Amino acid sequence: MTFDQIAALVVLVGVVGLMIHGKMRADVVALLGAAILLVLGVVRPVEVQGAFASPAVMALAGLFVIAYAIELSGLLGLMIRQATRLSMRVGALGIWMVIGLCGSVGGFLNNTPVVVLAAPVIRDVAKSLGLSPKRFLMPLSHVTVMGGLLTLIGTSTNLLVNDMARNADQPVFSLFEITPVGLVIALVGGAWLYLVGARQLGRTAAADEAPGPAPGPDEKPPAVHRGIDFSRLGEARNLPDGSGDARLGDVALYTAADRPFRLKSALISLGVFVAVIVAAAMGWAPIAAAAFAGAVALILLKVITPDEAYAGLRPEILLLIAGMVVVGTAMEVTGLAKAAADQLIDLIRPLGPFGALAVLYGVTLFATELLSNATVAVLMTPIAVALAESLGVNPRPFLVAVMMAASAAFATPFGYQTNVLVFNMANYSYMDFVRVGLPLNLVTWAAAMAAIPIFFPF
């Protein structure tokens, strides 16, 4: 091994170890790794500069500002309140409708504020119906996570994998290109949660429910025990912030207030957001350029102030991604990614492309339970490309597998930021997540293996 390869490997192991240890913020760890690689000359200043100005970082920054403007306008809170009023009329099925709505919104907006706003509403509605909130809050988190798989902008992981694929001379993904695969995974996973997962949580929460047999997830209880004061459902609560990525560290507390609805601001924010989506989907502008322009437009239109725009940027997420891109660049330029892929190929070559795809998905899935989504994406994307090229097949299905698996952290309460939110709110046990999340991992893995080769042939 060359000096650069040894240095890159040592830094990589150190970054992963510190993130697993969890005592240091993940963004600080990533920046530390990038700084060491730069000082040692493993990466050049121009490569570090490129990481901080990458399309993924620019796109996320713009989208964070636009999403924050939508949140400040009160539109998100209004949608959730109206949906929950409907759920009061149709019972538990209505709560599942709200969960489905949140999953759909998660395909376009950051899922953390969606869960922060929806979770207390769903909790109070469930209690008023004589049901345990435990049966709904974990599915809320998991469904919004799966909603992020629906579009290229649904999660930072998708944008990061797309950006790294571009750096590896692979064609970029369009906004809705991964939607068919994400939709299959979301529908299969959501169905499993509705039919199986919620019933398991119902038995776990039996002591919290009214005496008698626990009703199924689609059953309406015989009576409503109390009303809900909707004016208080969105009270400010101090909850951890994040992009939906795992283990972001001790970031600033996130105050999720149900903002008063402002029609003009809501219409302009929504209009700008739709314009960004259309521009990117139609190929009129790259998603990074469209999102950046949309964010600036909201400031110029005085929908959001410059200070509010800066507050919505979430620099800890952007810096984490930029730092990890530098680490990923070091893996590529030193040849570590190709060497790792060659070692992996020796083990799975007899399995063929489909077997390699399944193994890659499984390795990525396991790593996601331990590390941040950005870290896993950076580690696995260059390996996915090198693996496909070594097998002589199209890298695209392997890249989609990394996108999907790097967000499928269901088996632990700390694998995803929204899991932490509901874990604290509903007093789940660690084994609640293992019992529901581990089978969900396997179910979505199987769904992905069925869908990916159909929509992205080898």
- Provide the token pair at 17: 């170890």
**Can you tell me the distance from the alpha carbon of 113 to that of 79, in angstroms, rounded to the nearest whole number?**
13
Q: Which residues of 382-400 are buried (b: 16+ CB within 10 A; e: fewer)?
A: bbbbbbbbbbebebbbbbb
| Residues 355-390 pLDDT 10s | 999 999 999 998 888 777 777 888 888 888 888 888
Q: Is the dihedral of CA 101, 107, 113, 116 positive or negative?
A: positive
Q: Among residues 454, 412, 451, 457, which one has the least CA distance to residue 431?
A: 412
Q: Which two tokens stand for residue 316?
A: 């800890």
Q: What pLDDT digit, counting tens, does each position of 186-233 carry?
A: 999 999 999 988 788 765 445 454 444 444 444 444 333 343 333 333
Task: Give the chain's end-to-end CA distance (angstroms, integer).
Answer: 32
Contact (Cβ atoms closer than 8 angstroms) between residue 63 and residue 29: no
The reported pLDDT for the residue numbered 183 is 95
SS3 23: coil
With vertex at residue 115, the alpha carbon angle to CA 436 and CA 79, rounded to the nearest 5 degrees, is 125
- Find out whether 119 and 134 touch, Cβ atoms under 8 Å: no
431 Cβ neighbours under 8 A, 6+ residues apart:
none
The per-residue pLDDT for 208 is 54
Could you write out the DSSP letters of every residue in 337-357?
Answer: HHHHHHHHHHHHGGGHHHHHH
Which 8-state DSSP code applies to residue 240? E
- CA distances for 188 relative to 224, 422, 447, 450, angstroms: 31, 22, 7, 11
Place of tokens 């009270």: 235
**Given this model, what pLDDT does residue 87 score?**
67
C-alpha distance from residue 270 to each of 98, 155, 285 (Å)? 20, 19, 19
pLDDT at 12: 86
Chain-centroid distance, C-alpha 429: 22
Residue spans of beta strands (DSSP E) within 342-408: none
Instruction: Provide, for the chain, the percentages of residues in helix, strand and coil under a 3-state DSSP scheme, each rounded to the nearest 5.
Output: 70, 0, 30
Whole-number pLDDT of residue 233: 34
In which residue ranges of the chain is pLDDT below 70? 22, 87, 202-258, 414-415
Cβ atoms of 108 and 277 closer than 8 Å: yes
- Helix H or strand E encompassing 328: helix 315-333
Residue listed under structure tokens 């992981």: 157
Residue type, position 246, single letter: A
Q: Which two tokens stand for residue 269?
A: 């924010």
The reported pLDDT for the residue numbered 261 is: 85
Those residues with Cβ within 8 angstroms of residue 249's Cβ, 6 or more apart along the chain or in another chain: 22, 24, 25, 26, 27, 28, 29, 316
8 Å CB contact between 98 and 169: no
pTM of the predicted model as reported, rounded to 2 decimal places: 0.74
| Main-chain phi, psi angles of 412, to 5 degrees | -135, 150
- Among 409, 429, 70, 439, residue whose Cα is nearest residue 267: 70
Rounded CA-CA distance 83/110 in Å is 19
Alpha carbon 230 to chain centroid, angstroms: 29
**Per-residue pLDDT at 453:** 96
Q: Which residue has the tokens 């906004």?
A: 175
Distance CA 406, CA 413 (A): 16
Amino acid, single-letter form, for residue 175? L
Domain extents in the chain: 3-455
The 3-state DSSP class for residue 167 equals helix
Beta-bridge partner residues of 255: 238
